[in-house]
Amino acid sequence: MKRILLIFIFLFSLNTFCQTIEGTVFDENKMPMVGASVYLDGTTIATLTNENGKYFLSVKSKINTSLIIRSMGYETVGIANPFENNNRKIYLVAKQVELDEVVIRKDYFTRSQKMQLFRDQFLGTTKAGKSCKINNEEDIEFEYDYKTNTLFAKSDKPLKIDNPYLGYQIEFDLYEFYVKFRKKSIKNEDVTKSLFLGTTLFNEINKEPKIKKIRDIVYNGSSMHLFKNLSENRWGKDLFLLFKGGFQDIPENYFTISNEGKLKKISIAANIKYEGLLAGSKPRFYADFNFLYKKTKQSKVIFLTNVFYVDEYGNNSDADKIEFGGDLATRKLGDMLPMNYVP
C-alpha cells in the first residue's frame, strides 16, 4: 500500500506542474495537416503535427506568449491565449501570391550598407549580436523611404539565425522592421527609432556548462530580469534601483502589484501621467523611469500603458507598449533568451 501511495503522489505532482496544450490543424479543405510547425512564440517549446494533424505541447508554467502554427505555403496563425480554450481546431489558409510593384528610383545606399544597418539594428552590436549569422540574408528585401528617412525590411521566409555565443539556432518570422533616421542616412548614429516584430523559435544546440554561464550573464540586467524583480518587489544596489526625475525613488510609490491567477498584475500610479515627445511623434505616454543595474548599467523605460502582466519568468504582456532606452535598448535579437529561460 505504501508503494502505491508514493506512486500516486508522484503522478499528482506531475499533473500539478504540467499543462498540455493540444489541438488539430486542418487545411482549407478541412483535411488534417501533417508536419505543421507548432510552437510557443519566443520559447524552445515546439512540436510538429502528426499524421492526424494533431499537436501536443507539454508546458510546466503559463507563459505570456502566443501559440504559433506555421506551414510552408500557408498563412501563419497566432493564438493569443493558448492556455485557455484548449483542444482547438485550427484551419490554415493558403498564401496568396502577390507581385510587388516595381518602382525604379535613384538609390543613395547600397544593399551592402542596408544589410549592415539591418544586422546592427536587428541582431545588435553587443558581443552576442556580433556573433550571430543570418544564413538566408538573400531572402531579405529592403526599401528606403526618402520622404521620411526610413528603412524598411521584409522577408517572406523565416530568417534562420545561428547564435553560437548563447548556443541557439533561431527561426524568426519577420512581420515588421523599420529604422527611422534624423536625416537622409544609413548610419547608426543617425537612428532615432528602430523596431522589429515577429515570432521566434529557439532551438538549443549547445548545453555545455560554460554556455549556461554566459546565458546567465546575459540574463542579468535584461528586461526579463527587471520585470521579474519588479513583480516580486525585489530591489537593491546589487540588483536594480529606480530613479525618477534624476533622483532615486521608492518603487512602491509608483507600482502596485497584485496576483492575477499565476500572473502578477502591475498597475502604475494614476497621478504621474505625462504627455510629451516620444521618438519623433507626440503620443501620450503614461510614465517613464530610469533603472540602474548594479550601479553601472542605466536604462530608460517608457510605459505606454498603465497596466500590464508579468509571468514567473519575467515576461510582460505588453511588449509593444513598453519602450527602452540606454542599456536595454542595445540588447537586440542577439541577446534574447527564450521566454521560458530559467537562470
pLDDT tens per residue, range 242-255: 998 889 999 999 99
The span from the CA of 173 to the CA of 70, in Å, is 10
* SS3 of residue 100 by DSSP: coil
The span from the CA of 201 to the CA of 178, in Å, is 21
Domain residue ranges of the chain, discontinuous segments joined by +: 2-91, 111-204, 217-335
Task: Please report the pLDDT score of residue 104 as a whole number.
Answer: 59
pLDDT, the chain, mean: 88
pLDDT tens per residue, range 301-327: 999 899 999 999 999 988 888 989 999
* SS3 of residue 111 by DSSP: helix
User: What DSSP letter does each residue of 303-322 carry, written as one string?
Assistant: ES-SEEEE-TTS-BS-GGGE
Over its C-alpha atoms, the chain yields an Rg (Å, rounded) of: 22
Decide if 129 contacts 163 (C-beta within 8 A): no
Superfamily of domain covering 2-91? Carboxypeptidase-like, regulatory domain (2.60.40.1120)
Decide if 171 contacts 158 (C-beta within 8 A): yes
Sign of the alpha-carbon dihedral angle for 217, 220, 223, 225: positive
Task: Please report the pLDDT score of residue 330 as a whole number.
Answer: 92
127, 133, 139, 140 alpha-carbon torsion, rounded to 10°: 10
The span from the CA of 6 to the CA of 15, in Å, is 14
Nearby residues of 149 by Cβ (< 8 Å), 6 or more positions away: 180, 181, 182, 183, 184, 185
pLDDT tens per residue, range 9-42: 333 333 444 788 999 999 999 999 999 999 999 9
Task: Please report the pLDDT score of residue 14 as a whole number.
Answer: 37
* SS3 of residue 324 by DSSP: strand
How many CB atoms lie under 10 A from the CB of residue 185? 16
Looking at the predicted structure, is the pLDDT value of residue 4 above 70? no
**What are the Cα distances from residue 241, in Å, to 148, 181, 269?**
37, 32, 18
How many CB atoms lie under 10 A from the CB of residue 235? 16
pTM for the model stands at 0.84
Q: Which amino acid is at 233?
A: N
pLDDT above 90: percentage of residues in the chain = 74
The span from the CA of 206 to the CA of 298, in Å, is 31
DSSP-assigned letter for residue 335: G
pLDDT tens per residue, range 63-109: 889 999 999 999 999 998 898 877 889 999 998 766 566 555 678 99
Quote the cell numbers at residue 223.
528586461
pLDDT tens per residue, range 39-57: 999 999 999 999 999 999 9
Decide if 156 contacts 256 (C-beta within 8 A): no
Torsion angles phi and psi, residue 313, rounded to 5: -85, -20
The span from the CA of 42 to the CA of 336, in Å, is 9
